[in-house]
Amino acid sequence: MTPCTMGFDLWQLWIFTKEGQLKSDEHQCLSALKVVHTSNQWIVQLKECGEHQMEYWHYNGYYRTFVHTLSGYCLDEPLEPFTKETENQARVPTVRKCRRGHLTQQWEMIRVKWLPDSFLA
């Protein structure tokens, strides 16, 4: 994660599909994977979409949280603190136990109207 810029930058655009995938483009999905040989440790990854269970999320509009359907955990901010020294480094979000009203787990969704595919042809 990096600070947002003003305006509309495609590299900051995420799409939440009606199927429940969070995509950075049409081929990359945000997923959470359970770490092997751990009781309940999960890592967040950006991987090529393959319609695997680890790619699906539920958005709770009331609490503004993304809940990973497989783990039941909420999408949360990275563990690394944001500092002046790290402001230009990409930081990886985490999944953690959902904490109602916790600001680090709240995500704002803005509806964007896409042009139909036939418009580009």
CATH assignment of 12-109, among 2.80.10.50, 3.40.50.11540, 2.20.28.270, 3.40.190.10: 2.80.10.50
Q: How many CB atoms lie within 10 A of CB 95?
A: 23
Distance from C-alpha of 108 to C-alpha of 111, rounded to nearest angstrom: 10
Are 44 and 21 spatial neighbours (Cβ–Cβ below 8 Å)? no
Are 68 and 59 spatial neighbours (Cβ–Cβ below 8 Å)? no
The predicted model scores a pTM of: 0.79
The predicted model gives 35-50 an average pLDDT of: 90
pLDDT at 120 > cutoff 70: no
Are 33 and 41 spatial neighbours (Cβ–Cβ below 8 Å)? no
> Of 69, 90, 63, nearest to 22 (Cα)?
69
For the chain, give every domain's residue range: 12-109
Kindly report, residue by residue over 64-110, the tens digit of the pLDDT: 999 999 999 999 998 877 666 766 667 789 999 999 889 999 998 88
> Of 31, 25, 21, nearest to 10 (Cα)?
25
